[in-house]
C-alpha cells in the first residue's frame, strides 16, 4: 500500500471529481485525498454580464446545462469533444429594462451575438422566477421562461415526481457571478423570501469554479479566453453572457476529457504552451454580422393580464429593442421579434427611410449637376478639352 503523502491540491481533487461525475473514472473512496463521489449529477453553469458603469445593473444572464445521463454512452478516447458539447443546452436572457446598456469602455460587449440559439427578452423582475425554474429542473431549460406552463419551486412538489438531482453549480470566477445573482434577488444559499417554506432558492450539491480548477491564482489569473485557447477551443463573441456560460461549461468538459488521454497536458500547456501564462493573447474574435434571433419570455408573453398592462409591456419591449439602434448596428440587423418562446422569426430588415432634409439636399445636388452638364460640362471636362486643343495646336505647328 502506497504511503499517504497528504491531501491533494484543490484543483486536482476537483478535476478528479469532474471526471467521476462524467463517468471518466470509477467512483472510488479508497484514497484519503480522493473526492467524495456524487451520484447522478447535472451541471448548471451561470454567467452574468453587469453594466461597466454600474455593477448592480445585470444586463445579460447566460445559462448552460449538461445532464450526465445524456453523456453516459460517450467514450473519452473515441468520441470527439464536439459529441460531448452537443449534449449541452444553452439559454441567454436579456432584461428589457437594460436593453440600451452595452459595455464598450473597459470591455467590448456583444449582447446581440449569442452563438447557441435565440436570445430571450424578459422583465428584470422575472429573472428570479426563471432561475428558480432552472434549478428546480435543469433538464427543462428551454421552458424555464415559459410562465404559461412551467411550475416553480414555490409550488408544492409532486409526490410522484422523480427525486431531486445533484446539481453542480459551475462558473468562471464563481464569487462574481454569485454576487451578481444577488442583484437579481436570487441567492444560492439563503432561503426563498417569497416562499413560506425554508427551502433555498437553489439546492446545489457542489460549486465548481473553472478558474480554480485550472490552477488560477491571484498572481497568475486565468481568463476564460486564455483557458479556452489552452484547451484548443476557439471562442467567438466572448463577453456575451450566454456564450461565456457555454464556453465555461465546454472548458470544464474539455478539461476532464482531455486529461484522460493526456494526464498533466493542460498544466504543461498553461506553463509552456503558445497561450500559457505571461504570453500575449490574440484579440477576442467577434462575428458582428451574425445576430441571434430574439424571442419573448416570462411575463412579456402577455398571458392572463389586462389589455392595458399588456400594451404597456409591449411598448416597453419595443423601446428596449429600439434602444439597440442607439448603440449602432441596428441597420444591419437580420432579425425580428415574435411574442413566443417557440420558433424565432428571422427576416431581412426593411429599408430605413431617408430623412427629408437629406432627400432635399440630394435632389438639389442632382439638379445642380444636371445644370452644369447642360451648360457645357464640369471644370474637369473643360480642362480636358483645353489640353486636347493645345495638343492639336502643337501638331499643327
Mind listing the pLDDT tens digit for each residue in 81-97?
Answer: 999 999 999 999 999 99
Confidence bin at 304 (pLDDT 50/70/90) = very low
Check whether 283 has a pLDDT greater than 90.
yes
Q: What is the pLDDT of residue 331?
A: 35
- 333, pLDDT greater than 50: no
SS (H, E, C) the chain: CCCCCCCCCHHHHHHHHHHHHCCCCCCCCCCCCCCCCCCCEEEEEEEEEEECCEEEEEEEEEEEEEEHHHHCCCCCCCCCHHHHHCCEEEEEEEEHHHCCCCCCCCCCCCCCCCCCCCEEEECHHHHHHHHHHHHHCHHHHHHCCCCCCCCCCCCCCCCCCCCCCEEEEEECCHHHHHHHHHCCCCCCCCECCCCCCCCECCCCCEEEEHHHHCCCCCCCCCCHHHHHHHCCCCCCCCCCHHHHHHHHHHHHHHHHHHHHHCCCHHHHHHHHCCCCCCCCCCCCCCCCCCCCCEEECHHHHCCCCCHHHHHHHHHHHHHHHHHHHHCCCHHHCCCCEECCCCCCCCCCCCCCCCCHHHHHHHHHHHHHHHHHHHCCCCHHHHHHHHHHHHHHHHHHC
Question: Is the pLDDT higher at 361 or at 76?
Answer: 76
Q: How far is CA 264 from the centre of its chain?
A: 29
Model confidence at 59: pLDDT above 50: yes
The predicted model scores a pTM of 0.72
pLDDT for residue 38? 86
**Which residues does residue 226 pair with via DSSP β-bridges, in sequence order?**
none
Higher pLDDT, 317 or 108: 108
- pLDDT score for 301: 80
What pLDDT is attached to residue 263? 87
252-261, 279-288, 344-353: segment of lowest average pLDDT: 344-353
- Residues 181-206: tens digit of each pLDDT: 999 999 986 444 444 444 568 889 99
Q: What is the pLDDT of residue 51?
A: 97
- The answer to whether 144 and 91 have CB atoms below 8 angstroms apart is yes
Q: How confident is the model at residue 360 (pLDDT cuts 50, 70, 90)?
A: low
Q: According to the model, what pLDDT value does residue 215 have? A: 86
Rounded CA-CA distance 134/128 in Å is 10
- Give the residue with greater pLDDT, 372 vs 343: 372
What is the C-alpha separation between 316 and 310, in angstroms, rounded? Answer: 10
What is the rounded average pLDDT for all residues in the chain? 78
Residue 239 in this model has a pLDDT that exceeds 70: yes
Q: If you average pLDDT over residues 208-235, what whole number do you get? A: 92
Cell numbers for 171, please give them: 462558473
pLDDT of residue 92: 99
Cell 441571434 sits on residue:
292
pLDDT of residue 338: 43
Amino acid at each position: 500500500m502506497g504511503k499517504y503523502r497528504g491531501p491533494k491540491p484543490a484543483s486536482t481533487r476537483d478535476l478528479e471529481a469532474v471526471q467521476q461525475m462524467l463517468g471518466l473514472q470509477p467512483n472510488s473512496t479508497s484514497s484519503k485525498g480522493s473526492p467524495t463521489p456524487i451520484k447522478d449529477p447535472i451541471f448548471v453553469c451561470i454567467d452574468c454580464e453587469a453594466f461597466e458603469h454600474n455593477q448592480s445593473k445585470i444586463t445579460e444572464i447566460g445559462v448552460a446545462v449538461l445532464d450526465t445521463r445524456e453523456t453516459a454512452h460517450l467514450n473519452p478516447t473515441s468520441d470527439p469533444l464536439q459529441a460531448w458539447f452537443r449534449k449541452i443546452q444553452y439559454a441567454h436572457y436579456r432584461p428589457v429594462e437594460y436593453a440600451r446598456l452595452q459595455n464598450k469602455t473597459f470591455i467590448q460587449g456583444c449582447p446581440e451575438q449569442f452563438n447557441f440559439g435565440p436570445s430571450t427578452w424578459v422583465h428584470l423582475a422575472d429573472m428570479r422566477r426563471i432561475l428558480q425554474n432552472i434549478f428546480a429542473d435543469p433538464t427543462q431549460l428551454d421552458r424555464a421562461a415559459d410562465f404559461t406552463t412551467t411550475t416553480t419551486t414555490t409550488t408544492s412538489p409532486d409526490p410522484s415526481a422523480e427525486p431531486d438531482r445533484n446539481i453542480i453549480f459551475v462558473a468562471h470566477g464563481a464569487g462574481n457571478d454569485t454576487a451578481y445573482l444577488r442583484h437579481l434577488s436570487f441567492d444560492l444559499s439563503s432561503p426563498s423570501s417569497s416562499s413560506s417554506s425554508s427551502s433555498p432558492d437553489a439546492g446545489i450539491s457542489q460549486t465548481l469554479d473553472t478558474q480554480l480548477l485550472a490552477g488560477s491564482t491571484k498572481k497568475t489569473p486565468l481568463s476564460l479566453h486564455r483557458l479556452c485557447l489552452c484547451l484548443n477551443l476557439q471562442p467567438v463573441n466572448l463577453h456575451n453572457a450566454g456564450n461565456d456560460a457555454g464556453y465555461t461549461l465546454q472548458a470544464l468538459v474539455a478539461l476532464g476529457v482531455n486529461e484522460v488521454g493526456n494526464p498533466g497536458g493542460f498544466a504543461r500547456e498553461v506553463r509552456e504552451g503558445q497561450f500559457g501564462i505571461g504570453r500575449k493573447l490574440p484579440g477576442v474574435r467577434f462575428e458582428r454580422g451574425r445576430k441571434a434571433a430574439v424571442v419573448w419570455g416570462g411575463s412579456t408573453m402577455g398571458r392572463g393580464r389586462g389589455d392595458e398592462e399588456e400594451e404597456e409591456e409591449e411598448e416597453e419591449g419595443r423601446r428596449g429593442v429600439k434602444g439597440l439602434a442607439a448603440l449602432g448596428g441596428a441597420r444591419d440587423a437580420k432579425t425580428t421579434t415574435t411574442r413566443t418562446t417557440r420558433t424565432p422569426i428571422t427576416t431581412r430588415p426593411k429599408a430605413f427611410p431617408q430623412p427629408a432634409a437629406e432627400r432635399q439636399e440630394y435632389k438639389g445636388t442632382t439638379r445642380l449637376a444636371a445644370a452644369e452638364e447642360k451648360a457645357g460640362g464640369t471644370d474637369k471636362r473643360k480642362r480636358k478639352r483645353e489640353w486636347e486643343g493645345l495638343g492639336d495646336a502643337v501638331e499643327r505647328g
